[in-house]
Amino acid sequence: MLLHVKNVSKNYNDQPVLRDVTFTVQAGESVGLIGASGSGKSTLSRCILGLESIDAGEIRLRDLSWQTASRKEIKSMRQRVQAVFQDSSESFNPRWTLTDSILEPLRHFRMIEPSEEATKLAHLCDIVQLPHACMTSYPRELSGGQKQRAAIARSLSLNPQLVLLDEATTALDTLTQHHIVEMLQSYHRDQSTAFLIISHDLSVVSKLCDRILVLSEGMIVDAFHCHELFDGSRHPYTIELRDAFVEKGRFLNGLN
């Protein structure tokens, strides 16, 4: 078991935001987490990253848990799980070139020698299909899609076991989103990295994930394999999301 979220609850100002959330992600798996805006997805992702405390339950990454880890163990947990958020602008230092931003985690953890940097950088660029020429650019000189690709490159730099993508393609235009999803699909086919794909958009999640969890008002109300999406036994909230997704598909195909 790679990630085990066990009976996790969290409140903000005495209001429950996560309620008894339990699920697992196996090594190499790609799991989707969908839910409306405000359902608690980003809170859950910050808890999994160890950026927020929880009020009850436990979050384990393999043998280590944020709740009981020592400082040294926390360092190793940080290398195991990486994240990409909706707007990468905030996570890039505007005064750094992409080279420095992408290599920062490796330098921080002293996992790279200066002589290895160029090769590693070229490799990461190739994975995310970003032109090598972008590496001397500053964040403001990049398009939204290039910035998200750079953020994905940085998240993969430490060879994490789990990458959490929280609405990572939401702010992009449809075509750019499509290209990034295809790039992630081909990366996931070849690698053993697990993905937790968080989105309100069922079309993104259904392309990238084997299994889908549905969060509503801080509770997991449905969990199923992608091929079970159209089963009769789905939760009413899943059916609502599914119908909106089907409608959008019809609209895009010009069938309406």
> Using CB under 6 A as the criterion, which residues of the chain lie in contact with ligand ADP when the complex forms?
12, 17, 35, 37-43
Cβ distance to ligand ADP smaller for residue 111 or 219: 219
Q: How far is the CB of 17 from ligand ADP (least distance, A)?
A: 4
User: How many C-beta neighbours within 10 Å does residue 127 have?
Assistant: 17
Q: How far is the CB of 215 from ligand ADP (least distance, A)?
A: 7
Q: How far is the CB of 237 from Mg ion (least distance, A)?
A: 17
Close Cβ partners of 95 (under 8 Å, ≥ 6 residues apart): 138
199 neighbors 18 (Cβ within 8 angstroms) = no
- 17 binding partner (options ligand ADP, Mg ion, none; Cβ < 5 to 8 Å by kind): ligand ADP
Question: Edge to edge, what strands does the sheet with 64-65 contain?
Answer: 15-25, 3-12, 56-61, 64-65
Cβ distance to Mg ion smaller for residue 41 or 234: 41
Task: Give the pair of three-digit tokens for residue 66.
Answer: 């944020």
DSSP state of 54: -
- 39 binding partner (options ligand ADP, Mg ion, none; Cβ < 5 to 8 Å by kind): ligand ADP
Q: Which H or E element spans position 32?
A: strand 30-34
State the number of binding residues for Mg ion (CB under 5 A). 2
206 neighbors 229 (Cβ within 8 angstroms) = yes
Cβ distance to ligand ADP smaller for residue 12 or 251: 12
Look at the chain and count its residues.
256
Q: How far is the CB of 114 from Mg ion (least distance, A)?
A: 38
Q: One-letter amino acid identity for 228?
A: E
The terminus-to-terminus CA distance of the chain in angstroms comes to 45
Q: How far is the CB of 44 from Mg ion (least distance, A)?
A: 9
Cβ distance to ligand ADP smaller for residue 38 or 249: 38
Stretch that binds Mg ion, among 37-45, 57-65, 74-82, 210-218 (CB under 5 A): 37-45
Which class for 220: exposed (0-12), middle (13-18), buried (19 or more C-beta within 10 A)?
buried
CA gap 194, 203 in Å, rounded: 19
List binders of Mg ion among 40-79 (CB under 5 A).
Answer: 41-42
Q: How far is the CB of 52 from ligand ADP (least distance, A)?
A: 8
CA 20 to chain centre: 21
- 188 binding partner (options Mg ion, ligand ADP, none; Cβ < 5 to 8 Å by kind): none
- 94 binding partner (options ligand ADP, Mg ion, none; Cβ < 5 to 8 Å by kind): none
- 157 binding partner (options ligand ADP, Mg ion, none; Cβ < 5 to 8 Å by kind): none
The footprint of Mg ion (CB under 5 A) covers 41-42
